[in-house]
Structure 1
Amino acid sequence: MWRAHRRDRAKPAPDISMSSPRRAPLKFSWNNPEFRALAYQVVVVGLAALMAYYLVSNTLLNLATRNIATGFAFLEREAGFAIGESLIEYSPSDTYARAILVGLANTLRVSAVALVLATMLGVIVGIARLSSNWLIVRLSSAYVELIRNVPLLLQLLIWYAVIGELLAGPKSAFHPLPGIYLSNRGMLMPSVDGPAVAGIIWGLVLAVVTIVAVGRWQRSSRRRTGAQSRLWPFALMLLLLMPMVGWLVGGREFHLSIPHRSGFNFEGGWALSPELFALLVGLVTYTAGFIAEIVRAGVQSVSHGQWEAAQTLGLPRSRVLRLVILPQALRVIVPPTTSQYLNLVKNSSLAVAIGYPDLVSVVNTVLNQTGQAIEGVLIIMAAFMTVSLTVSLLMNWYNKRIALVER
């Protein structure tokens, strides 16, 4: 044993350098493909830099020749024009920067609401196209083919004309539900304001976050133990209890404002302007047509054997679709849906055609007053690029989260 131990100790240590060979130094020879590839990249980057320098210097020279000021100092000057609707406080005495911020907020508002509504409508229409009911299939197919083959700009003009011309005035407004009116002045609905509103909203947000966290914990627990538990009683209790707690903490004071007719107009409530209503309906219906086809293709990409296997377990068709088919189809649905989300955000710039004060409309007014066309275009480009990249990053993160993990 002592000799064997000595032999083991006498074994030389493995050469670590042999397992990872060192990279050979780059040979500066045109016959070396690595050197040629590097040289081509340097030449292309250099030419692009020279082209950018030429364009920028030539632009600055032409602006100086025409005595046109450059820079973003104009943003601190007084705007002097009114904006029809805004999420934040604004008056004509505010700066151009404030006006552009109002336009950006209006763009984000209509884009966010349209993304949610277009997704819901697109999923419903896409699943309807796979229905066994002949009438539902034909109606959903007709909707998809009609919406996708008519330009969005024309649809916006049609919706705006429908709201402005075909709907009646305040005295004969369509009144489908108590407190809701639809007329050529837009859509009016009840509103709530007061100190306790913020507490109610935060209570709802906290309840939703808690429900999501508990739902994830229940799913992980069900995978470990197999025990079944219902989430909806707990969720319903939180949705009722947490806003009430927020109302108590916020001071228990809020005011319900219900719109009502007053002369030739309405008073009270919250008004959805005709421009915003037409833009929202146009973006939602147009984007939903494309999302519906994506959903249909994603569901059909799942093999029919998955349906049969789930139905043999006694699951109804609705639960098979929700628990088995859609989770697998999401891997096909999410990437092209991301492109449609980006298109929706960019298509919101067509709001200028119907008079909605979005970012493009406000910046267009600013550059007409100041003459700072290049700066205005750069602001629009930077804003849309930031929003689009944010949406793309969020969707890519979600796509990686639901991706299949190979073992």
Structure 2
Amino acid sequence: MIHGKMLFLNPTKESLTGKLAVPGDKSISHRSLMFGALAEGQTEIRGLLESGDVLATLSAIKQTGTMIKRRAVGHYLVEGTALKNFSIPTKPIDLGNSGTSARLLSGLFAKQVGPLTLIGDQSLSKRPMKRISKPLTQMGLDLQGDTLPLVLANPHQQLQSITYQMEVASAQVKSAIMLAAIQAEGITTIIDPIPSRDHTEKMLQDFSGEVTRVGQELLVPGNQSLKATTVDVPGDFSSAAFWLVAGILLPNSELTIEKVGLNATRTGLLTAFDQMGLHYDLELIEDGSQEPRGNVTVKAQKGTGTVIEGALLPRLIDEIPILALLATQVNGETVIKDAQELRVKETDRIQAVVSNLQAMGATIEATDDGMRILGPTPLKGAVVDSYGDHRIAMMLVIASLIAEGETRLLDAFVMKISYPNFLEDLKILLHHNQ
């Protein structure tokens, strides 16, 4: 039941059964719009995620002169001109809550005269932007601001190649540099010791671009001419993660998530399942795409605690909230380390996860770079808060299904940032077996 901004949730005696296709991948949706604008010709996008974050990117690109047409739900045409028709908006571009938009668009727009101002909501305005301003400034962009608002200008419309050592494993920072490097003089080298999401590399190749990985180095030639293409966006694995964990936790459940993206840089949760002794079935779909996709099936089962650390973290950074919930219900201790990046997400996700699950009765404590969780512990309904974070909100909805008593979720409707129909899909899965 909905009351104002509060969502009243009750546990269920039902299992989750059936098949479900989750919305399009958020990361790939953002990038398909940006590369469509940067290419020459008409790019067709199918399965675009129509969420708050992606629509912020779409609006920004339209405001700067690129024509985008909506043909149907998730079906868009981008009339790319390699940004030759770029126009400077008279007002700041409002990116809402989208950190991906702020960071990647700074790279995409890095060669434009400007000045161009990017703004966002209160949460986005607190997130660190120095990590992109440092490399982009070295390339020749005049970028003012360590947080939003950001003011971008490049009076000479020139960008130089650089060699840059990544300071954090961040696909957003890497992608911002790559989007600028494509438009720069010379070959840009990005030294990336811990691989992060590689959607930008794959999509650059889909648009007839060039990028080469040699060990820890990513080589991106400049002055590239990209060609329009067709992008078929797979389902978002980060959205699927909530259902996969729910299927494991709710008794007698068996569900399949169909046509979901299975990029190896995104499926760290499946590695965590392996470590916890949890079983799943994978069916790959061969369609010739750079982005692997397939069907994932899980059943209700019990697992054991594990340690999540090191190179695994970038592969499941967005799944930590739902993984923490899973850890409260498996046998033994789970330790999550090296996750300090969670403290500068939409909210401090370590604090948000720990405080909410503690309120529901979990044995969980925060550490500087993660958390320690002891399970299994029964959960009870409580008043909980998303803190304006979509992934915290969805994790708490799943938690409410296995808790005893009513859960009241504050600021629930931030779920629209990445999964507008989350509650509707929950009803579909619960009612399949009736």
| TM-score, normalised relative to structure 2 | 0.21
Higher helix share: 1
| TM-score, normalised relative to structure 1 | 0.22
